[in-house]
Structure 1
């Protein structure tokens, strides 16, 4: 029997993203999950009304409780501030870690302050098995690294890999116009691997959460990165087809 996935992130009151979407993705993969809430939000599909991060001591207690049962992988989403990031970094078990760098909501509300972005780079990247930024998140990470706005994507990815994360899955859902959605896996010492599927003519919230959580579930099941990515992308594509 596989061990649960620990899902660390925010509660989205609309149910469209965050831990609500994470849990659905893990369960759809046939796996179980433990939850650690970083913040409670009040939001709709169009706007964020309020965000209340939890106390660092409460986050630590949630993670410690989850670890008592054993954890097979960790998926990290919205972290909101540096104190919460320091708690996560201090308590991460030695298992695969999928880090989805949620820096702002789909509606544009900031979900990580500048100090938090620096803490994420310094404390979590060295512990990360795979980082899953979309293109706006990649640009925000480049800014946190002090890189020029016009720098090439591959240069930003290489800078992130040099900070200690083992791989980066760059999601191309925001790369318009195009009839194809392309995600690219970068690993140190290996050529990039592209994953392509048809692009749909509408958007859905929480697809990044879903992809990263399903990817963590695949790693728990012993899949290698390309296999876990393909399975996770299939789940996202099925959700679009059924929307």
Structure 2
């Protein structure tokens, strides 16, 4: 077993997303984890009732404690504000980093303010191995970059890659209804690579954070990006299929 995966994100009291799901995904990939909590939330499956970010000093101490044992990969989820982003950026070790840009909840509650989005772009993208936005998150990042609403997806991805992240996995769960779910990997200098699977007919929460966490576990296992994505998607699909 390799060194633990560091999971940075919020606590969802409903258990449907956030660190609770991240931990399950990492364990499903055969890895252990260390946790750094960015905020405590009160949620149901349908709405966010309250959010309380932790103090930056507390987040810093959590990450310092995790790093004492060594870390094999990092998955970053909800960050909530620019102060917490600055803490995370100052402590990131030289390991694979999966950044899931959690900008709002599934119910539409904002989870990162505009200053935080700019800090994410400036401070975390240059340290990111793979960014995993869904389509609404890609649109929000495009707006933060000052791009027109009509800008194509690949133009936005190119802009994100130019900010320093090494790759982007564009998740297709919010795409137009179809029988197939398609995620697309973009890497500088390579052709886009599509990953397809049958779309589930029922609604699920926490799918994006689980995929990103499973991907971090597979990168910790030593897989290259395409292989890690295939393994992570397969593991998550099996878990949902058997739920």
Distance 1:237 1:24 in 2: 13
- CA deviation profile, 1:173-208 (whole Å, cap 9, x unmatched): 111121110000000000000000001111210011
> Is 1:18 aligned to residue 15 of structure 2?
no
Distance 2:236 2:69 in 1: 29
Aligned to 1:216: 216
Distance 1:132 1:207 in 2: 12
SS state of the match for residue 31, structure 1? Answer: coil
> Is 1:180 aligned to residue 219 of structure 2?
no
> Is 1:242 aligned to residue 227 of structure 2?
no
Distance 2:49 2:235 in 1: 30
SS state of the match for residue 191, structure 2? Answer: coil
> Is 1:162 aligned to residue 159 of structure 2?
no
- CA deviation profile, 1:84-126 (whole Å, cap 9, x unmatched): 0000000000100000000000000000000000000000000
> How large is the Cα RMSD of the aligned pairs?
0.7
TM-score, L = length of structure 2: 0.99
> Is 1:60 aligned to residue 60 of structure 2?
yes
Structure 2 spans left out of the alignment, 5+ residues: none
Distance 1:107 1:238 in 2: 25
SS state of the match for residue 164, structure 1? Answer: coil
Offset at 1:236?
A: 2.0
Aligned to 1:47: 47
> Is 1:115 aligned to residue 115 of structure 2?
yes
Aligned to 1:76: 76
- CA deviation profile, 1:37-65 (whole Å, cap 9, x unmatched): 00000001000000000000000000000
Structure 1 spans left out of the alignment, 5+ residues: none
> Is 1:225 aligned to residue 225 of structure 2?
yes
The aligned length equals 243
Distance 1:202 1:235 in 2: 18
